[in-house]
């Protein structure tokens, strides 16, 4: 069985991690897996740029041009505030060479950034699996909207439903109409979601309401992301350590973290707070906590070491399709606090591997106080977290779910 994965990048972002880990898991199970990208950072014979049959220079030029045009088209629509959008009207990858290749299945992941257009996806004649890593496949050009936002993705992208704050070309409507025309009714596309949270939204949508959505979680290398007891006895031995992996994005819950860092709590004051995944910034400083910033971490072994310094990870994303950080932490035996009614809340098991909270500061601090005071609870949660990772996300578990889907 020969599988072609399409993802914009081979290394940058959560979608790249998702794709690469599944690719590695499939290789371990004997599947012939290759990845097609439009942005490549690493040298790997199984990862190629756009099309293996054209010159590397031509591939780079086509990829850069398509990405440039895609973003230029997105800017023809004016919004306040401006949201990141992907029109999907241009793409560097063409269906013709895919159809003429010997791949058995085409597996789409995050295919934006000018990788392949909506129209070209519709031209692919081979069976398609699509791992939805955000909400774009069942929206217009948007990637995320909150539950209180205008529901065009449910009711349909008609002119009357457009927000008054949107001006210029209705790019979202154009993208949605293109999806309807080229692949809405295509029975060769099998959609997969990493969580029921995202699958349920897809099945509510105007575009995918008649589709069956499979739910298969992301996979993780549990032999790499694992507890390292030695690291837990370093400088954090006598200090309660809280972790946060994220940036200043509103969707990632930065507001709650900022509020926490700048609010005094007698029982938590002096705790260590580890922050990673964002550039080092004065915004993360706190008068009440010992903040240590590690910036953006590309080395996964270093990331494992950082997780192993934590007693608890806060993952306060407001809109989250899955949450790889919450998954990585638990695989290292670190319990997680996340928000209710998000994809991340499916990653944890409430009151066994972490806690679901509503997202207010009082609830967060009370949960942290409880965990700080009850070391036996933390230890039980750590063991449960590691067991959950082995049971649900290890390479062979997830790879064989996809192999079964490919075989169908």
pLDDT (0 to 100) of residue 326 = 94
Q: Averaged over 198-221, what is the pLDDT?
A: 92
For residue 236, name the pLDDT band (cuts at 50, 70, 90): very low
Bridge-based pairing of strands 241-245 and 312-315 is parallel
Q: Which helix (H) or strand (E) holds 255?
A: helix 254-261
Asked whether the predicted pLDDT for residue 148 surpasses 60, the reply is no
CA-closest candidate to residue 31, choices 67, 4, 1: 1
* Domains present along the chain, CATH in parentheses: 2-219+394-407 (3.40.50), 229-392 (3.40.50.2000)
CA 188, 193, 196, 198 torsion: positive or negative? negative
Whether the pLDDT of residue 320 is over 90: the answer is: no
Name the pLDDT band for 86 (thresholds 50, 70, 90): very high
User: Do 38 and 114 form a contact (C-beta atoms < 8 A)?
Assistant: yes
What is the average pLDDT across 305-318?
Answer: 93
Is 312 within 8 Å of 361 (Cβ atoms)?
no
C-alpha pair distances (Å), 355 with each of 50, 172, 306, 370 = 42, 36, 21, 11
Residue 278 is predicted with a pLDDT of 83
Tokens read off for 324: 């790889």
CA gap 187, 223 in Å, rounded: 38
Please state, in angstroms and rounded to a whole number, the distance separating the CA atoms of residues 65 and 52.
18
pLDDT digits (tens, 9 = 90+) for 296-305: 898 999 999 9
* 349-383 per-position pLDDT tens digit: 999 999 999 989 999 999 999 999 998 999 999 99
Give me the pLDDT at residue 95, please. 95
Do the beta carbons of residue 197 and residue 108 sit within 8 Å? no
Given a cut of 80, whether residue 232 has pLDDT beyond it is no
List 49's β-bridge partners, or say none: 37
| Structure tokens belonging to residue 359 | 């997202």
Q: Classify each residue of 50-77 as buried b or exposed e, where b means 16 or more C-beta atoms within 10 Å of its C-beta.
A: bbeeeeeeebbebbeebbebbeebbeeb
Q: Which two tokens stand for residue 226?
A: 């694992």
Neighbour tally for 279: CB within 10 Å: 11
| Distance, CA of 243 to CA of 313 (rounded, Å) | 4
Spatial separation of the C-alpha atoms in residues 114 and 185, rounded to whole Å: 23
Farthest CA pair distance, the chain: 66
pLDDT greater than 90 at residue 244: yes
């Amino acid at each position: 069985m020969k599988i072609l994965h399409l993802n914009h990048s081979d290394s940058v972002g959560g979608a790249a991690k998702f794709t690469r880990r599944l690719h590695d898991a499939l290789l371990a199970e004997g599947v012939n897996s290759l990845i097609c990208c439009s942005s490549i950072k690493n040298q790997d014979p199984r990862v190629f740029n756009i099309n293996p049959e054209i010159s590397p220079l031509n591939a780079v030029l086509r990829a850069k041009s398509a990405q440039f045009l895609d973003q230029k088209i997105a800017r023809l629509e004016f919004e306040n505030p401006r949201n990141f959008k992907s029109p999907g009207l241009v793409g560097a990858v063409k269906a013709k060479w895919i159809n003429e290749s010997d791949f058995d299945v085409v597996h789409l992941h995050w295919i934006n950034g000018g990788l392949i257009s909506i129209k070209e996806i519709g031209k692919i004649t081979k069976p398609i699996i699509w791992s939805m890593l955000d909400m774009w496949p069942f929206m217009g050009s948007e990637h995320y909207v909150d539950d209180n936002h205008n529901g065009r993705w449910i009711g349909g992208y008609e002119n009357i439903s457009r927000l008054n704050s949107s001006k210029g070309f209705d790019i979202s409507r154009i993208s949605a109409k293109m999806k309807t025309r080229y692949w809405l009714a295509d029975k060769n596309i099998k959609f997969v979601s990493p969580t029921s949270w995202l699958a349920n939204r897809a099945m509510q949508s105007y575009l995918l309401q008649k589709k069956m959505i499979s739910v298969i979680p992301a996979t993780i290398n549990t032999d790499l992301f694992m507890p390292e007891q030695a690291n837990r006895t370093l400088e954090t031995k006598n200090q309660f350590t809280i972790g946060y992996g994220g940036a200043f994005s509103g969707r990632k819950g930065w507001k709650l973290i900022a509020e926490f860092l700048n609010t005094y709590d007698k029982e938590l004051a002096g705790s260590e707070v580890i922050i990673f995944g964002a550039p080092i910034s004065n915004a993360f400083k706190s008068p009440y906590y010992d903040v240590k910033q590690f910036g953006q971490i590309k080395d996964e072994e270093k990331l494992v070491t950082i997780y192993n310094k934590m007693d608890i990870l806060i993952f306060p994303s407001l809109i989250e399709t899955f949450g790889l950080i919450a998954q990585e932490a638990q695989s290292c035996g670190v319990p997680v606090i996340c928000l209710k009614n998000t994809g991340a809340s499916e990653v944890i098991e409430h009151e066994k591997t972490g806690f679901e909270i509503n997202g207010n500061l009082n609830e967060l601090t009370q949960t942290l106080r409880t965990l700080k005071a009850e070391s036996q609870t933390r230890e039980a949660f750590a063991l449960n977290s590691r067991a959950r990772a082995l049971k649900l996300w290890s390479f062979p578990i997830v790879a064989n779910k996809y192999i079964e889907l490919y075989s169908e």
